[in-house]
Amino acid sequence: MTALGTPPAHRSGGEAKRALTRKQIAAVLREQFPKVSRSQCEKAASEAVAYCHVRPDADAMEHAMTVLMRNSRQVSYRNRRDADVGRANSTVLDAIANIQAGVA
């Protein structure tokens, strides 16, 4: 963050990308996976945010979903398989876009 509270521009010189917070990621995970406990969603979100501090080029939401798929038995096999292949649920992508745009 800069002194004015705006995120710094991306390294490529493009437009600044708004980072997702732990609470925003956890909210999207809880919405998409209602059978998964709140604590598991928050744990996955926390791990994703920490991972993105170490690797700024990583996608926090993608990492959070991967962690949740790996750690939760409540997530169906189909969702796990789709996540492993790299497919993303379109509603998750819509929710992320809304958060980044400031709508949610």
- Answer yes or no: is pLDDT of 101 > 60: yes
Residue, of 95 and 28, whose pLDDT is higher = 28
pTM, two decimals, is 0.56
Residue, of 20 and 41, whose pLDDT is higher = 41
Q: What is the pLDDT of residue 75?
A: 62
Max CA distance (Å), the chain: 45
Which runs of consecutive H residues, i.e. helices, occur in the chain?
A: 22-32, 38-54, 60-71, 77-85, 90-101
Domain ranges of the chain: 22-101
Contact 17, 10 (CB under 8 A): yes
Average pLDDT, whole number, for the chain?
Answer: 71
Contact 17, 7 (CB under 8 A): yes
Alpha carbons 96 and 104: distance in angstroms, whole number: 9
- Answer yes or no: is pLDDT of 31 > 80: yes
Alpha carbons 31 and 4: distance in angstroms, whole number: 32
- Answer yes or no: is pLDDT of 19 > 80: no
